[in-house]
């Protein structure tokens, strides 16, 4: 590691809360699908800020929106009407079957809004004392107290008791457990259609069919967390569209403003009746500057058909990964993904492989010790994927 890096690391250790286990890389600048470290070394970005910078870094179209809008209006709060917010809401609604949008600032906040809306809708609109939220083991919904209560990973909750009550967790893909967990007290089942943080796991279609049948029978809501899987990443604009149903509520964040912090919760017209003026709010949500940027992001995604591109590139990646698996069945346990949400699960802990890939100029995530997780910009090129596969294969061969 360079002296510059070591100095930055020491300063960070002395000044920033120790909440992150960081990789030994300081990113100094970025453009398109490339990152550069403090010493000017170039990297291929296969992570996109964890599924955030879908359009690639530093897009000139977004820079121009940012500068123009900054001069015009940045933020006035939600006491006022803002054209940019309404325009963004209309653009989002044109991509799906939802009826209304609530804007916020992050994925966790979007999920908080979803949980609050679901409970309030049941009580105030349906007049039912249904408050239980069922979610899945291994799920990740964020770090605020409500989103954390919904998250199905006990280790993330360590030391934070008591969390809000009324949350239960069921094993992934288990129809019997689902049937046993829901009742007339169930307010909502909250689900990622493809679990991201747990290592890229698409929900089995039969499980989703069972969920839809139970919704019909018991009248609970389905909340889909699209924070990681939404916005074209899985090869459709929204991941629930692979399963052909309309969620009552869904949440989005990461890619929405291509790197600027923004979140949103979308709900059907009916369920949105659960919120009235004063029942939920946030100062920054849907501010003019971020809304203008996000509206441009949506335009680009639609015009450049980035969902189709993600589907094609995802197929290309999976084909290459499957070939790699066939050549190294002893080194790779599994490859999987949907669109550009991809995982290569190694047969052994992969810290050394992950570190060497980074040394060779590839930025990606290692999840749960063995899973190489790729969430590249939606603009990634085939040549970059092939270069990555070649580098990984070289490392697997060198392991002997
Ligand atoms: C599926 C999912 N939901 C929620 C979140 C939380 O989002 P944020 O970190 O913006 O609060 C994440 C973040 O990784 C996520 O992947």
Q: 3-class secondary structure for 57-101?
A: ECCHHHHHHHHHHHHHCCCCCCCCCCHHHHHHHHHHHCCCCCCEE
Quick one: three-class SS letters along 361-385?
CEECEEECCCEEEECCCCCCCHHHH
Ligand 1 atom nearest the C-alpha of 197 is 16
- Cβ(155)–Cβ(148) under 8 Å? no
104, 254, 262, 290: residue to mutate for ligand 1 pocket, most atoms within 8 A of CB:
254
Ligand 1 in contact with 142 (CB < 6 A)?
yes
End-to-end Cα distance, the chain: 27
Cα–Cα distance measured from residue 138 to residue 160, given in angstroms and rounded to the nearest whole number: 18
Instruction: For ligand 1, say whether the CB of 34 is within 6 Å of any of its atoms.
Output: no
Strands in 120-176 per DSSP E: 132-136, 167-170
Cα of 69 vs centre of ligand 1, distance in Å, is 27
Nearest-atom number in ligand 1 for the CA of 229 is 1
How far is residue 94's CA from residue 307's CA, in Å, rounded to a whole number? 15
Question: From the CB of 251, is ligand 1 less than 6 Å away?
Answer: no
With a CB cutoff of 8 Å and minimum separation 6, the contacts of 236 are 242, 307, 311, 339
Helix and strand counts by DSSP (H, E) for the chain: 12, 17
Q: Is 108 in the pocket of ligand 1 (CB under 6 A)?
A: yes
CB of 112 closer than 6 angstroms to any ligand 1 atom: no
pLDDT of residue 1: 76
Indicate if ligand 1 lies below 6 Å from the C-beta of 194.
Answer: no
What are the structural domains, with CATH classification, of the chain?
1-45 (no CATH), 60-303 (3.40.640.10), 305-345+381-400 (no CATH)
Predicted local confidence at residue 399, as pLDDT: 86
Q: What residues contact 325, with CB distance under 8 A and at least 6 apart?
A: 332, 334, 335, 344
The 332-338 sheet, strands edge to edge: 332-338, 341-346, 371-374, 365-367
CB 148 within 8 A of CB 156: yes
Q: Does any ligand 1 atom lie closer than 6 A to the CB of residue 228?
A: yes
pLDDT tens across the length of the chain (400 residues): 799 999 999 999 999 999 999 999 999 999 999 999 999 999 999 999 999 999 999 999 999 999 999 999 999 999 999 999 999 999 999 999 999 999 999 999 999 999 999 999 999 999 999 999 999 999 999 999 999 999 999 999 999 999 999 999 999 999 999 999 999 999 999 999 999 999 999 999 999 999 999 999 999 999 999 999 999 999 999 999 999 999 999 999 999 999 999 999 999 999 999 999 999 999 999 999 999 999 999 999 999 999 999 999 999 999 999 999 999 999 999 999 999 999 999 999 999 999 999 999 999 999 999 999 999 999 999 999 999 999 999 999 998 7
Measure 7 CA to ligand 1 centroid, in angstroms. 30
Distance CA 13, CA 186 (A): 44
Cβ(253) – ligand 1 distance below 6 Å: yes
Nearest-atom number in ligand 1 for the CA of 111 is 4
Residue whose C-alpha is closest to residue 178's, from 191, 165, 166, 196: 191
Q: How far is CA 67 from CA 30, 61, 82, 285, 301, in A?
A: 19, 10, 18, 20, 21
Q: Which atom of ligand 1 is nearest to the CA of 147?
A: 4
pLDDT of amino acid 400: 74
Helices (H), the chain: 3-15, 48-51, 60-72, 83-93, 107-120, 145-150, 175-181, 205-218, 288-303, 306-327, 351-359, 382-398
Cβ of 225 closer than 6 Å to ligand 1, yes or no, is yes
Using a cut of 0.85, tell me whether the model's pTM lies above it: yes
152: Cβ below 6 Å to ligand 1?
no
Residue 100's pLDDT is: 98
Q: Which of 107, 200, 226 to mutate to test the pocket of ligand 1 (most atoms within 8 A of CB)?
A: 107
User: Can you tell me the distance from the alpha carbon of 73 to that of 346, in angstroms, rounded to the nearest whole number?
Assistant: 49
Please say whether the beta carbons of 250 and 230 come within 8 A. yes
The angle subtended at Cα 111 by Cα 17 and Cα 206, nearest 5°, is 120
Ligand 1 atom showing the smallest separation from residue 50 Cα: 14
Residue 275: the pLDDT is 98
């Amino acid at each position: 590691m360079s002296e510059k890096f070591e100095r930055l690391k020491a300063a960070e250790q002395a000044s920033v809360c120790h909440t992150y286990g960081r990789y030994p890389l300081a990113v100094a600048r970025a453009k398109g699908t490339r990152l550069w470290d403090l010493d000017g070394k170039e990297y291929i970005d296969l992570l996109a800020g964890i599924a955030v910078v879908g359009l690639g870094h530093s897009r000139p179209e977004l820079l121009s929106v940012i500068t123009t809008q900054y001069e015009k209006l940045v933020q006035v709060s939600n006491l006022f009407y803002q054209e940019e917010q309404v325009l963004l809401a209309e653009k989002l609604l044109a991509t799906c079957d939802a009826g209304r949008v609530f804007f916020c600032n992050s994925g966790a906040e979007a999920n908080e809004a979803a949980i609050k809306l679901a409970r309030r809708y049941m009580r105030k609109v349906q007049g039912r004392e249904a408050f239980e939220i069922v979610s899945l083991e291994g799920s990740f919904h964020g770090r605020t107290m409500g989103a954390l209560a919904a998250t199905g990973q006990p280790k993330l909750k360590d030391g934070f008791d008591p969390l809000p009550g009324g949350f239960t967790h069921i094993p992934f893909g288990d129809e019997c457990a689902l049937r046993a967990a829901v009742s007339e007290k169930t307010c909502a089942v909250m689900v990622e259609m493809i679990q991201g943080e747990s290592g890229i796991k698409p929900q089995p279609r039969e499980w989703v069919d069972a969920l839809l049948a139970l919704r019909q029978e018991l009248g609970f809501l389905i909340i889909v967390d699209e924070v990681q899987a939404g916005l074209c990443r899985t090869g459709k604009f929204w991941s629930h569209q692979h399963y052909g149903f309309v969620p009552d509520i869904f949440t989005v964040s990461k890619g929405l403003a291509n790197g600027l912090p923004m979140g949103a919760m979308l709900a059907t017209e009916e369920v949105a009746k659960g919120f009235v003026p004063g029942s939920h709010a946030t100062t920054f949500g849907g501010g003019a500057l971020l809304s203008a940027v996000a509206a441009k992001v949506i335009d680009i995604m639609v015009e450049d058909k980035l969902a189709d591109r993600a589907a094609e590139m995802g197929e290309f990646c999976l084909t290459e990964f499957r070939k790699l698996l066939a050549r190294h069945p002893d080194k790779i346990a599994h490859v999987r993904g949907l669109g550009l949400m991809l995982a290569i699960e190694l047969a052994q802990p992969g810290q050394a492989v992950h570190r060497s890939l980074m040394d060779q100029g590839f930025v990606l995530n290692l999840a749960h010790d063995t899973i190489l997780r790729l969430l590249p910009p939606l603009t990634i090129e085939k040549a970059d994927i092939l270069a990555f596969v070649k580098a990984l294969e070289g490392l697997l061969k060198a392991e002997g």
